[in-house]
C-alpha cells in the first residue's frame, strides 16, 4: 500500500443538521444551502490537497532514489563527453570543413560561432547619450492606466473622449464583471 491509495470516488458529506440540501439544479436557496456547499467544497479541497501532498512525497522519494542511482554515472558521462568533444574540435581545427565526426555509436557535431560581444545596456545607453545619439531610439506608447482618466463608456455602449465629447472608434467597451472565488478554511499541514 502506498500513500496514494485513495478511494475511487469521493463520498459527499451528509446534509446539514436540518437534512437540508440544495435542489438538484444546484441553485442555493438559503444560507444553510450555502453553508452545506461551502463545507462540501472545503472537504473536497482538503482531500485533493492531501492527495497532492502524498503524491509529492512519493515523487520526491522516487527522485531521490533516481539521483542516487545516477550520481555514479554523472562523472563518467562528463568525462567521456569531454574527450569526444576535444577530439572533434581537433579534427575540425585540422580541416574546417569536417564539422561532424561519426562513430558506429553516434556522432559529434561541431558548430562555429564567430567572436562577438555582450552589451551592458545601461552603459551602452550612457555611451550613446554622450555623443553617439544616432544610436538612440525612442518608443512611443499609450498607457491604458492613463486613458481611463479621459475615456468613458456612454449610452449605447460607445466609448467617448471626455474632453472633446467625440466618439472613439479605436476603443471597444467591455462589460463589467464580478468574480467570485471560494477560499476554504483549511488547516495548516506541514509536509
pTM: 0.48
151 shares its domain with 88: no
40 shares its domain with 103: yes
Residue 189 lies in a domain: no
84-125 pLDDT, tens digit each: 999 999 999 999 999 999 999 999 999 988 778 788 888 888
62 shares its domain with 104: yes
Residue 20 lies in a domain: no
CA distance 114 to 175: 54
CA distance 30 to 90: 80
Q: How confident is the model at residue 69 (pLDDT cuts 50, 70, 90)?
A: very high
End-to-end Cα distance, the chain: 20
Residue 155 lies in a domain: yes
Residue 24 lies in a domain: no
Instruction: Reply yes or no on whether the pLDDT at 3 is more than 70.
Output: no
Indicate the DSSP class of residue 160. Answer: E
CB burial of residue 42 (10 Å; 0-12, 13-18, 19+): middle
Q: How many domains in the chain?
A: 2
47 shares its domain with 101: yes
- Grid coordinates of 157: 455602449
Domain coverage including residue 175: 139-179
Among the candidates 64, 94, 109, a domain finishes at 109
Among the candidates 109, 126, 154, a domain finishes at 109
Q: Are residues 36 and 14 in contact, defined by beta-carbon separation less than 8 angstroms? A: no
97 shares its domain with 156: no
Residue 106 Ramachandran class (φ > 0 left, ψ -120 to 50 alpha, else beta): left
Amino acid at each position: 500500500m502506498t500513500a496514494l491509495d485513495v478511494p475511487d470516488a469521493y463520498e459527499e458529506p451528509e446534509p446539514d443538521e436540518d437534512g437540508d440540501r440544495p435542489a438538484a439544479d444546484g441553485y442555493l436557496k438559503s444560507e444553510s444551502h450555502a453553508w452545506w456547499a461551502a463545507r462540501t467544497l472545503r472537504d473536497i479541497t482538503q482531500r485533493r490537497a492531501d492527495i497532492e501532498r502524498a503524491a509529492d512525497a512519493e515523487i520526491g522519494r522516487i527522485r531521490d532514489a533516481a539521483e542516487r542511482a545516477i550520481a555514479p554515472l554523472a562523472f563518467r558521462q562528463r568525462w567521456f563527453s569531454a574527450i569526444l568533444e576535444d577530439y572533434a574540435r581537433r579534427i575540425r581545427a585540422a580541416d574546417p570543413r569536417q564539422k561532424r565526426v561519426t562513430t558506429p555509436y553516434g556522432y559529434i557535431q561541431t558548430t562555429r560561432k564567430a567572436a562577438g560581444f555582450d552589451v551592458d545596456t545601461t552603459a551602452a545607453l550612457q555611451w550613446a547619450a554622450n555623443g553617439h545619439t544616432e544610436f538612440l531610439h525612442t518608443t512611443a506608447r499609450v498607457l491604458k492606466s492613463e486613458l481611463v482618466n479621459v475615456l468613458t463608456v456612454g449610452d449605447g455602449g460607445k466609448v467617448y473622449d471626455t474632453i472633446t465629447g467625440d466618439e472613439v472608434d479605436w476603443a471597444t467597451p467591455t462589460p463589467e464583471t464580478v468574480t467570485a472565488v471560494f477560499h476554504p478554511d483549511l488547516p495548516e499541514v506541514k509536509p
